[in-house]
A and B are shown apart, each in its own frame.
Chain A
């Protein structure tokens, strides 16, 4: 966007406008997303518990409910306990919220040659994981500065839980990185182009298992039930945000819903094909950027709808789990993370590595003789994208690196 604008106005103004547009889009995605998700959560929980959920405010489906909640929260008094460390107490919600929002900087919403992404990092996955780990810092600050034992207990539990679940989460994320051969989220998403059989979740049996491990760990690392002991209202009086009121409390909730959406989007990009639908409709219709900028824009828009839809479905599944499963005890939470998820993730990582070693670039569905018609249709639109070997397009840098490696074969052999 900035290079396009800079043809007409000053360069610095173009870059400022582009930056502001990106910031506004991300902020609105998280804030409006939280608005919708809170309403959705109440509707889904109502349906699961055989009641209607919000109906009074805003006519049909009670769609103005969260807006009314927002006005209520805005008008509440901003309280702080007498013994609290006021500066840290007031700043802790912002730390959590900023960490949650910053994860969206590196999440792409459409791929291709001009991906829709605020900042294209070639270590996208790593950045998202690193930034989402910062949320725990705001939680600890909130718990510590509240001068309340409920808050302190909640913060300790949440910190222990998040830190221990980051280990298997990182291991789960490494597997798609291994298969796509890049830490770049755009490359990972584009490597799954074509039919849903190309999605990494169906790549081999190990990735199929590790997808569910990822779901468990992601649920735990964003503190959703059945792992929401840190904010258990019946045991800890809402945990680390016991003492918060009004808007600061709602910042914590916006951070939580933002993180939920972020892990949902990450799951859809890493495992579920990202911006590629289950059926390559855009390829059939020729809506690709090769056929002109407007058509390409339309294709990107369909991709964004795809990835956001998958993320929303992931969030809905998390809500479904929340209202159907009982809460785990803290020792069960830690045992799930350290005794089950970590070893399973490690074993699956090893299995996926061996699969790549034995059958490089071959997906599970490539081994089964599917009816030829399945592939024949797929070849119509995207002949070059169908071969799994071409899934990772070697870029120029990788070529250079390969040449550099070939130039020093002794070193590589010795090193490996």
Chain B
């Protein structure tokens, strides 16, 4: 009676939720509802991260995507959307283009995932033997330049710095764009 294997069950639950809400984002036409479904989809993805033992990444997902980006998105919608932008209509050509782009990405990802031998699925005994390791310290050490799993390889200090500087540039750019402009005409005020 040990038929239910809980990790698999929760994997399918969370991945199913993520996919279902992603489809719901596509199918809904109201932009605020889209944001709501996107939150649920990203939250389910965070659940997948927790299931995989990557607790830090999962909490990061919740903090940045669900808590931060989505709030910003809804703020943007509320501040900018006029009547005709709140409900979005998708034309047939857009559907075709979106299916081509998304389908190509899905094909590549699926192909890549199943071409790696370790990802083709493992036995129950092997799955039981895998114990999730704490992930915070290795990530932090890696970002500071030392890999705990393999000391002979270098860490991620340079990419981390590049990303940080990039984010700073984005921040300054956003502040520049959003600064109080001198009003040249009345059109800008509206």
Contact = CB atoms under 8 A, between A and B. Distances in A.
Judge: A and B partners, yes or no. Answer: yes
Given A126-B56, A401-B138, A411-B155, A136 B67 contact: yes
Interface string B128-171: 00000111111001001111110110110100000000000000
Contacts of A412: 144-146
A365 to B, nearest CB: 29
A126 B62 CA distance: 10
B55 A408 contact: no
Contacts of B141: 401, 404-405
B137 A397 contact: yes
B136 A137 contact: no
A137 B135 CA distance: 28
Contacts of B99: none
Given A134-B62, A407-B151, A144 B67 contact: no
Interface residues of B, number: 43
B41 to A, nearest CB: 14
B71 interface: yes
B2 interface: yes
A88 interface: yes
A134 B66 contact: yes
A129 B144 CA distance: 24
B2 A11 contact: yes
B176 interface: no
Interface string B26-65: 0000101100100100000000000000011011101100
Given A12-B6, A88-B32, A123-B55, A144 B154 contact: no
B144 A415 contact: yes
Interface string A375-416: 000000000000000000000011011001101100110111
Q: Which of B4, B56, B62, B75 counts the most A-chain CB atoms under 10 A from its CB?
A: B62
Q: Which 7 A-B pairs have the closest CB atoms?
A: A415-B145, A130-B63, A408-B151, A133-B67, A130-B62, A122-B134, A127-B59
Given A137-B39, A405-B151, 9 more contacts: A127-B62, A131-B62, A140-B75, A404-B141, A408-B146, A411-B154, A412-B146, A415-B145, A416-B144
Interface of B: 1-4, 6, 30, 32-33, 36, 39, 55-56, 58-60, 62-63, 66-68, 70-71, 74-75, 78, 133-138, 141, 144-149, 151-152, 154-155, 157
